[in-house]
Structure 1
């Protein structure tokens, strides 16, 4: 009788063990996701400020070449639309000209249940371009301000990369006009940065405002073709000496050029995924060198600027 009871206990234990083995994968599946991307594989969507399309295209091409299992699908649009996309499930990251305010951090924390991560990647500049036949390509900030608010009697006008909500327009209103409005008779817009370049190439007495990554890289064949159509204007220097400077890297780094802005990523990811992998790539050496070659000034890598005398 005792022997049979032992056998029954053993059989019951085996049944319980087998049942537990069946349940374990389902239980563990709640904590270990197998459908997520990793830092170097998977597919994600990001939204990027259109002013940075050339340099971010370069970053994505190199990243995907290094990690063939990774696919980053970028949509280029006005900055305000990028921030709207940050709340969408389909958008993992945005690349824009600023980080989050305290109020925005709280909003996204309440909406997402975690704080999005953000950091500066590089320093960019707003470049001013003019038609090749325009006699004047030297401007003070007072002159630019006067054209934008209509206080000068000049016939010059300005063209921007969108009708509203672009980072370049926001920069002009916040940093150049100090919150005052444009003169609608003096300021108008094209659809995007390429539209600005083409318009300035076809019209005299127009100042075009674009991100420097669109026209700063002389090693890019498409940008070389742009520079045959337009000239980059020199702006009065933020320095003791009376001189005019262009948005070259040394002038961006030393803030000698007066229209400098940041380039940031904002990442909506609370695990080690492809968004974090791409952010790390842009933050470290390879990504920082791409910013350098695109004639922005990297924010995370130290480069030395040496003075030199040219004969």
Structure 2
């Protein structure tokens, strides 16, 4: 009988503490109120900054964006130092298994399609490039049209994406260069005619003030897919038709485990207003915003 009483007391105390914790969260954070930190793949930072600005101007909310490489964002999620991340890929089977074993179930929201752009110096004679040539270079073969490839960060999702396409784990050291930010990639390609930069298109269509001066010396190259005919630019139309060969899906991943600001921000981005922001940014929204046509009988 004493044991039963002790078990009952422990249960009531734990339940009380749990409810207090839930109440505390609801008082400081709801889906449209409070503050939250979002770790974002650095290649996607410009579009998230646009979404954050409109979201914060509409609701009593504060979103703190932390740009990181893809590898750093994933590690932060697994180590529980981050509960909300934005990635250019979905969680893989091992990562999903990790959360399932901990009885945590990520809410994954696809919200847009992005493009990896291949950029060259404005003085480059050819405005096109074959993807097969780039992948062969990553396998250690030489190229007749460029001397090196420039990435943003050795741990970025862009590097992993290209490594997967090339079928390699690590790119060779010779001819492969990496910096810390996308801005440094733009600067280097603008100053070096024989280099090809590999960068998220969002940094081109929505340039920050620090990179605008470099863009006048850069051209975005049309890309020919492996075994395909024709060269295609990373435009919204080509992303929608599936003709541009370096397209990738973007995801909002939330493991908060309660109805917090992460859920509200994800819903906003995937909703009508957030998708319209994506459309205006040059990326392809997951759901095309509706258009209302108003007709008039007289002018």
TM-score, normalised to structure 1's length?
Answer: 0.81
Cα deviation code 1:226-284 (max 9, x no counterpart)? 431211011115897x4211100111111111101111011012221100000000000
- Structure 1 CA distance for aligned equivalents of residues 106 and 201 of structure 2: 28
Which residue of structure 2 lines up, in the alignment, with residue 149 of structure 1?
139
- Structure 2 CA distance for aligned equivalents of residues 277 and 29 of structure 1: 22
- The verdict on how the C-alpha distance between 1:147 and 1:252 changes in structure 2, with shifts beyond 3 A counting, is same
- The verdict on how the C-alpha distance between 1:135 and 1:49 changes in structure 2, with shifts beyond 3 A counting, is same
- Structure 2 CA distance for aligned equivalents of residues 105 and 146 of structure 1: 33
Which residue of structure 1 lines up, in the alignment, with residue 231 of structure 2?
244
Which residue of structure 2 lines up, in the alignment, with residue 291 of structure 1?
278
- Structure 1 CA distance for aligned equivalents of residues 17 and 131 of structure 2: 64
Which residue of structure 2 lines up, in the alignment, with residue 187 of structure 1?
176
Counterparts of 1:1-311 in structure 2, within 5 Å, are: 29-30=19-20, 32-36=22-26, 37-67=29-59, 69-111=60-102, 113-154=103-144, 156-162=147-153, 164-175=154-165, 177-179=166-168, 181-217=170-206, 225-236=213-224, 242-301=229-288
Which 4+ runs in 1 deviate beyond 6 A?
Answer: 220-223
- The verdict on how the C-alpha distance between 1:156 and 1:303 changes in structure 2, with shifts beyond 3 A counting, is farther
Say if 2:224 and 2:232, in contact at 8 Å, map to a contact too.
yes
Q: Structure 2: any 5+ residue segments left out of the alignment?
A: 1-15, 292-299
- The verdict on how the C-alpha distance between 1:59 and 1:141 changes in structure 2, with shifts beyond 3 A counting, is same
Q: Aligned-pair distance for 1:182?
A: 2.0
2:150 aligned counterpart, secondary structure: strand
Q: Aligned-pair distance for 1:285?
A: 0.8
Q: Aligned-pair distance for 1:130?
A: 0.6
Larger radius of gyration: 1
Q: Aligned-pair distance for 1:101?
A: 2.2
- Structure 2 CA distance for aligned equivalents of residues 35 and 142 of structure 1: 51
- Structure 2 CA distance for aligned equivalents of residues 30 and 120 of structure 1: 33
- Structure 1 CA distance for aligned equivalents of residues 290 and 174 of structure 2: 43
2:23 aligned counterpart, secondary structure: coil
1:191 aligned counterpart, secondary structure: coil
Q: Aligned-pair distance for 1:191?
A: 1.2
Q: Aligned-pair distance for 1:203?
A: 0.7
Q: Aligned-pair distance for 1:108?
A: 1.4
1:215 aligned counterpart, secondary structure: helix
2:216 aligned counterpart, secondary structure: helix
1:291 aligned counterpart, secondary structure: helix
Q: Structure 1: any 5+ residue segments left out of the alignment?
A: 1-25, 305-311
- Count of aligned positions: 274
- The verdict on how the C-alpha distance between 1:159 and 1:31 changes in structure 2, with shifts beyond 3 A counting, is closer
- The verdict on how the C-alpha distance between 1:303 and 1:172 changes in structure 2, with shifts beyond 3 A counting, is farther
- The verdict on how the C-alpha distance between 1:185 and 1:39 changes in structure 2, with shifts beyond 3 A counting, is same
